[in-house]
Amino acid sequence: MARPLRIEYPGAWYHVMNRGRRREEIYRTSRDYEVFIGVLKETAELLNLEVAAYCLMPNQYHLLLHTPDGNISRCMRHINGVYTQRINRAYKEDGQLFRGRYKAVVVAQDSHLLEVLRYIHKIPVRAGLVENTGDFFWSSHRGYTSRAKKWDWLCKDFLLAMFSPKGNLAKKAYRSFIEEQESDAIERFYSKKNMSSVMGGDDFKEWVKETFSALRFHREIPESNALGLDSAKVRRLVCQVFRVQEDVLMHSRRGKENQARDVAIYLQRKYCGQTLEELGKDYGITKYSTVSSAYERVKAKLSDDRNLIKTIEKIENTLHKGQRKT
């Protein structure tokens, strides 16, 4: 099974979705829904995640999320992991709750956000659970029409302001928008079996292709061209951050790790789309297994080495700086 794309950058918006293992229910009682919403709130506070919308169906969830810190993977690991732990503990069970890795569609910060908002809130209607969007209890739709303070945790102001700068007019426009038929483009997007991981106009898609060049020729973005970051630029940034000369990257001692070189190999593999053979030529390495081992070492350490995580994030932020388009 192909691994889902992971496009992360500060300020990114996502439609995130997942379902239960073998399509089993992930919410059995009202308390389970409440537990999941509680985990969303906790994650928002702990990891600076902004939850703009949600819809919790018996065997799946849909979320519209904004990540000021570009940390969607970390946020979703926390949400899925903590919820699974609490449900297993409550029912005295053990094992996997979800079918696997979540699907995240990165969404352009424009009218596409409103289209996704409507799509998420109308899921119960399309599923035949209710006749009207407002009749479904386990979604954030009421948060967009209510003045109750219990909805203050929901980050809805940005989206409502896209309808009107005046609160009352924005809510009225939102209600009208929700009742409208979804566009043909949105229906086509979500009806595809191999749904794209990018939603937006041509400029946004082009920016994604240029910035996240490791995705070039990826089957989920068929429009991709052979565009990528300059490997020399990646090496220069690695040397700046590690405070070493570039020739240090070309040498290694038996039994001694060269983390700067490992990081450079990892980032070139990720953002320049280079093959193991190409990376070997860059670093004078004849064995592909040596290149692969360097990449895998960094990848493995990113699960718990906070210093390395911060170092790579610093390099990535510099690589992406000034390239973002919405």
Select the more confidently predicted residue: 249 or 111: 111
Confidence of residue 325 (pLDDT cuts 50, 70, 90): very low
As a whole number of angstroms, the distance between CA 34 and CA 86 comes to 12
pLDDT for 229: 61
The predicted-structure confidence for 293-320, as pLDDT tens digits, reads as follows: 888 899 888 878 889 998 988 888 887 6
pLDDT for 321: 61
Amino acid residing at 102:
Y
The two tokens of residue 250 are 């070309």
pLDDT for 250: 85
In the chain, % of residues over pLDDT 90:
58
pLDDT for 270: 75
- For the ranges 79-93, 177-191, 256-270, 312-326, the lowest mean pLDDT is seen at 312-326
pLDDT for 57: 97
Q: What average pLDDT does range 98-114 have in this prediction?
A: 92
As a whole number of angstroms, the distance between CA 135 and CA 139 comes to 10
Res. 326: pLDDT tops 80: no
Please state which CATH class domain 12-215 belongs to: alpha beta
Annotated domain spans of the chain: 12-215, 231-320
Select the more confidently predicted residue: 277 or 223: 277
The two tokens of residue 217 are 């020729």
The two tokens of residue 268 are 């070139």
The predicted-structure confidence for 145-170, as pLDDT tens digits, reads as follows: 999 999 999 999 999 999 999 989 99
- Which of 121, 139, 227 lies closest to 182, judged by CA? 121
pTM of the model: 0.67
The predicted-structure confidence for 168-200, as pLDDT tens digits, reads as follows: 999 999 999 999 988 899 999 999 877 888 999
- Which of 159, 196, 197 lies closest to 66, judged by CA? 159
Res. 119: pLDDT tops 90: yes
The winner for highest mean pLDDT among 139-143, 236-240, 263-267 is: 139-143
Show the DSSP H helices in the chain as ranges. 30-47, 72-91, 111-121, 123-126, 141-145, 157-161, 167-179, 184-191, 202-211, 231-242, 259-271, 276-283, 288-301, 306-320
Please state which CATH class domain 231-320 belongs to: mainly alpha
Confidence of residue 113 (pLDDT cuts 50, 70, 90): very high
DSSP 116: H
Residue 10's alpha-carbon distances to 17, 74, 247, 305, in angstroms, are 20, 13, 32, 21
- Which of 140, 25, 23, 35 lies closest to 79, judged by CA? 35
Select the more confidently predicted residue: 85 or 195: 85
The predicted-structure confidence for 220-235, as pLDDT tens digits, reads as follows: 444 333 335 678 888 9
Look at strands 198-199 and 103-107 and give their pairing. Answer: parallel
Show the DSSP H helices in 247-320 as ranges. 259-271, 276-283, 288-301, 306-320
Q: What average pLDDT does range 32-37 have in this prediction?
A: 98
- Backbone φ and ψ of 84, nearest 5°: -60, -45
